[in-house]
Structure 1
């Protein structure tokens, strides 16, 4: 459990709210030195919420955030956020992508008159119709108390001003919202001492409740929560809307399908910047989501992989010349496809010419590989350099892939999960060799085995861990092993901070 400090200008500023042992005045916080700091104030995992008024450069509130970061503590707002808020050009840069949302709100008649003032308290506001805008402002520039002024010029709405506001400036209704928003933002404020002693760390699991093919089903998520709490980790499910809350956690476990130009990658980067243990790390997402990168990496490092060539949009040579030496059928892949999407089986040169014209509209490079028909693919789960599970994913009935997207509903083949000791050693060796090139995260290595030949098809970050499938051999131990890696890494982070 991470200790918490709520810093205010004066203790009386907190009078409208419930008393909290976590409260400290700015003067007392700044006066702390190593000899007189409590255990919480010396703990580098402490999360500091800075509610001071003078947040301008070299103001008291600015120094609260500055010294908190110097002590290795996580603070909201960070010095970087304060510097951006102080310069309108940086604010405009951060919020440039809000224009479509402002236009949508205007078309819906939710922005009235020529100007609107919106107060944002931990990403929430009193106006339910502007809740999305409030959340976006907080995600882009995480500051507990913000006031935004929107103006209309020539029928276009834009952000004219965004500034921090003082806790004392809140009216009675806003005080109620602030208390509930702070409660939702950081449950630590209201936990009893017993609950605080129960858990040593906080882990967020990022999910999308509406995702059709999530990496973990609901039963698996419940198993992760139970396993984490058994090890002293308080596990919470979050969504993309909780990006502004990441700093209150010690770790982030992404259980939503990842992509580069996507909030999963942005949240992984933000979490890593905040010092969290992150699986999948931004590096893993970057390396695993691009099939072109993986193809080049595996071939360069001698990992067995299908024969193939990279097709370049700007290459003017005839396709027949570029694919000389390969025989049909072949498989054409876009760089960032997932769940069998963006993969086309090619039966002739004419079909290849047609499909490359279509796919080159979205990607400058395509990967063309030999087709290796097998009844199933091996999926070897690897975590921290160790085999976690071994499954066979069978092709969908009447289809050449595991997932069949040709109909109105997605169909998939069956599965079997095996003790890794029963898996052919060549499959295990190839899987571990491939993951060593990526990192020490959680991976799912897809391999094909045809006779004595074993090839790595791809290495997936964010592999499926579903109850009733990947856990059929290890059961609860599967979830405990994953949570155990988080625990050891979070403990290592604390030790490293203490040694600095």
Structure 2
């Protein structure tokens, strides 16, 4: 058998690569390398060993079963401060689909498109081998990369099954000693490519006090922060000694590189933003929005119950159940027409319908019950504008008036010809907003938590009511920052620094 090429990383001056094999004969098909050690040799190394301070460990043991050689090598690598793949966390996640299944949801949505007109389309299933996130099946390369980012493991076996559509039926680690000759070639090339990348940006060159990641989607139509606002976060952060980096959905596996995460992409419990928040929290990052705030704010039914139980003012509201259609006959009489119907987790005025009579009510509920078994019905209160009070760590930081879209009863008119039309905005100093509005906003946000929120309220005469609490409030250049300008970004970043300093001292914030 011809020996396979393996090129040692050119970045040796900035770190050491260690490749662990369970038995030395597992490496027999490759050129000998001083980087390769047996599992026993690695386990017997003392903590202060010749590998140096910056070590990348690639664990190629035959399996990673609990308390086996592979498991202990990754465990000990982490204890020694070495960067290792797979990590103990990845090993644990790959043991049960209940742990890794959530990370596959978004990938499965793109499978059908990736596999259309492909040779595997006529089969019922197949298994794909990935080597450091690389595959020779070009249509699946992007999915392969995302799988490696979610589960950094040298060899992954991904099982695809076709039911109503293509699905990922399972993901597990593969073994080096089981590779055929053609597969060994692919593995060697992928390992070479991976080893050349790992020292590309030595962390020792970083001089910032803290590293903050901002999750955003450059293609989002209505993002929580526009491009200029994101630029301001980066610029202001630099002046404060904070290295602010914009990341995207594809950077999920890199979260542990940062000290904190700020989400500037529309959040939802059923998409990747919630997974980012959960992972950031589990990795010990300071994160806004935190997972609890996302859960509480994205559901209007929860908020309605919260306001009601705490006796805070809101529009007269009722919860409608798909399985209780008789209630639809009386809700109009109790709330009066017109009234507003809402899907619990809608955002940016989507999933919100105003109905003028019983006929429109029945038609609208038929439509909305297709998306949710619960709906919220509220009395209709028309005002020229809504108040938005920004709250950070239980204190108000900005006040905005969002005017209704021209000729429409909402701020966002999604049915406008040509594009979504947004009403005008006016930003004030907090002390210029009515005291009753600000006080009710703070009381409401404090029921959610101590993060960053935008509380929407309506004022009709002396009556002030809460419409909703947004866990991911807009911070747009030219709108929310119109009064404070750079100070708005400074306030947010200072709160991150405060929490990070307390965390460093082992104190709660």
What TM-score, normalized by structure 1, do the two folds share?
Answer: 0.82
Aligned to 2:324: 315
Query: Equivalences for 1:54-133 in 2 at 5 Å?
Result: 54=61, 56-57=64-65, 58-59=67-68, 61-67=70-76, 76-85=85-94, 101-109=110-118, 118-121=129-132, 123-125=133-135, 128-133=138-143
Shift of 1:267: 1.7
Structure 2: how far apart are the matches of 1:153 and 1:218?
40
> Shift of residue 107 of structure 1?
2.6
Q: Match of 2:210? A: 201
- Per the alignment, residue 52 of structure 1 pairs with 59
Segments of structure 2 that go 5 or more residues without pairing to the other structure are: 1-5, 21-40, 178-183
Once residues 422 and 326 of structure 1 are traced to their aligned partners in structure 2, the CA distance between those partners, rounded to angstroms, is: 33
What does residue range 305-454 of structure 1 map to in structure 2 within 5 Å? 305-407=314-416, 408-454=418-464
Aligned counterpart for 1:459 among listed residues 457, 466, 469? 469
Q: Deviations over 1:462-489 (max 9, x none)?
A: 1100111111111111111111111222
Q: Is the 8 A contact 2:277 2:290 kept in 1?
A: yes
Match of 1:280 among 280, 286, 289: 289
Evaluate the alpha carbon distance shift between residue 29 and residue 417 of structure 1 in structure 2; reply closer, same or farther with a 3 A threshold: farther
Residue matched to 2:29: none
Residue of structure 1 in register with 2:36 after alignment: none
2:191 is aligned with 1:178: no
Map residues 147-158 of structure 1 onto 2, 5 A cutoff. Answer: 147-148=156-157
Are residue 242 (structure 1) and residue 251 (structure 2) matched?
Answer: yes
Match for 1:477 among 480, 483, 487?
A: 487
Aligned-pair distance for 1:50?
3.9
3-state SS in 1 of match to 2:198: helix
**Structure 1 unaligned spans of 5+:** 1-12, 42-46
Q: How big is each residue's C-alpha offset from its partner over 1:141-200, in whole Å with a ceiling of 9 and x where there is no partner?
A: x22422436689999897787425669x776643442145535xxx64x35x4x32x113
Q: CA RMSD in A?
A: 3.7
Shift of 1:233: 2.1
How far is 1:17 from its partner?
Answer: 3.1
Give the deviation of 1:225 after TM superposition: 1.0
Higher relative CO (Cα under 8 Å, sequence separation at least 6) belongs to: 1
Cα deviation, residue 245, structure 1: 1.5
Q: Distance in 2 between matches of 1:477 and 1:91?
A: 41
Trace 1:218-297 onto structure 2 (pairs within 5 A).
218-297=227-306
CA contact (8 A) 1:335 1:367 kept: yes
- 1:66-109 CA distances to partner (integer Å, 9 max, x unpaired)? 34666899865332321344679977897688666555444332
Give CA deviations for 1:352-406 in whole Å, capped at 9, x if unaligned: 1221122112211111111111111111111111112111111011111101011
Provide the secondary structure at the position in 2 that maps to 1:51. strand
Q: Is the 8 A contact 1:56 1:86 kept in 2?
A: no
Aligned residue pair count: 469
Q: 1:200 to 1:53 in 2, by over 3 A?
A: farther
Within the alignment, does 1:23 sit opposite 2:30 as a pair? no
Distance 2:307 2:162 in 1: 54
TM-superposed deviation, 1:492? 2.6
Q: Distance in 2 between matches of 1:150 and 1:495?
A: 45
Within 1, Cα distance between the matches of 2:440 and 2:83? 40
CA distance in 1, matches of 2:303, 2:145: 36
Residue by residue, what CA displacement relative to the aligned partner does 1:38-78 show, whole Å, maximum 9, x if unpaired?
xx98xxxxx98542223623355523433466689986533
Query: Against the structure 1 CA distance between its residues 332 and 49, is the aligned structure 2 distance closer, same or farther, given a 3 Å change threshold?
Result: farther
The 3-state SS of whatever aligns with 1:434 is helix
